[in-house]
Every structure is written in C-alpha cells, then in structure tokens.
C-alpha cells in the first residue's frame, strides 16, 4: 500500500499504540477533544470507542489522522527497553 490508501490508524487502534508509535498525533487529537494521556498515564481503550462515545465522525477523524501519519512517515521507532 502506498500513499493515501495506507491506513496506520484504524478504529481499533489503542491509545497506547498512538502514544508509543504515533506521538505526533496526540496534539491533533487534543484539538478534536480526544485525550490520549490522562493524569500522566495513557488512556485505556481504543480510538474508535472514544470517537463513538463522543459522537464524532469516525471516517473524517481516521482520514485526517492517517493523512498526518503518512506525511510524518508512519510510526516512529520505539526506544522502549525492557530491562
């Protein structure tokens, strides 16, 4: 898949995955009113669950987030070390 057909972010994408692999999406999500991090911890659940709970347009939000992800080159490399 190339270009705008690639889907990095889907409705079942967890907030943990967004925070770890797509941290640049946290700010655009906040602008929509969706918090990824609450009280210093990553929120539980999926993006789709939160979009539905808030009554927002799922397709529009997923399209916007995937466009940003494609422009940013996809997921960032994780430096998470299990020691």
Query: Which domain covers residue 43, as residue numbers?
Result: 3-71
Q: Are 70 and 16 a contacting pair, CB within 8 Å?
A: no
Q: Are 78 and 19 a contacting pair, CB within 8 Å?
A: no
| Close Cβ partners of 53 (under 8 Å, ≥ 6 residues apart) | none
Domain assignment of residue 38, yes or no: yes
Domain assignment of residue 78, yes or no: no
Domain assignment of residue 80, yes or no: no
Domain assignment of residue 83, yes or no: no
The confidence score (pLDDT) of residue 13 equals 97
Mean pLDDT by 10 residues, the chain (83 residues): 71 95 96 92 93 97 97 82 56
Q: pTM for the whole thing?
A: 0.83
Domain assignment of residue 53, yes or no: yes
Nearest CA to 62 out of 3, 15, 16, 8 is that of: 8
Domain assignment of residue 37, yes or no: yes
Domain assignment of residue 77, yes or no: no
Structural domains counted in the chain: 1
Domain assignment of residue 79, yes or no: no
């Amino acid at each position: 898949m190339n270009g705008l057909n690639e889907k990095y972010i889907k409705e079942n994408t967890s907030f943990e995955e967004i925070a770890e692999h797509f941290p640049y999406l946290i700010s655009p999500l906040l602008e929509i009113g969706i918090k990824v991090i609450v009280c210093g911890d990553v929120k539980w659940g999926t993006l789709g669950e939160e979009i539905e709970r808030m009554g927002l347009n799922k397709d529009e939000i997923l399209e916007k987030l995937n466009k940003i992800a494609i422009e940013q080159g996809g997921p960032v490399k994780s430096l998470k070390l299990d020691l």
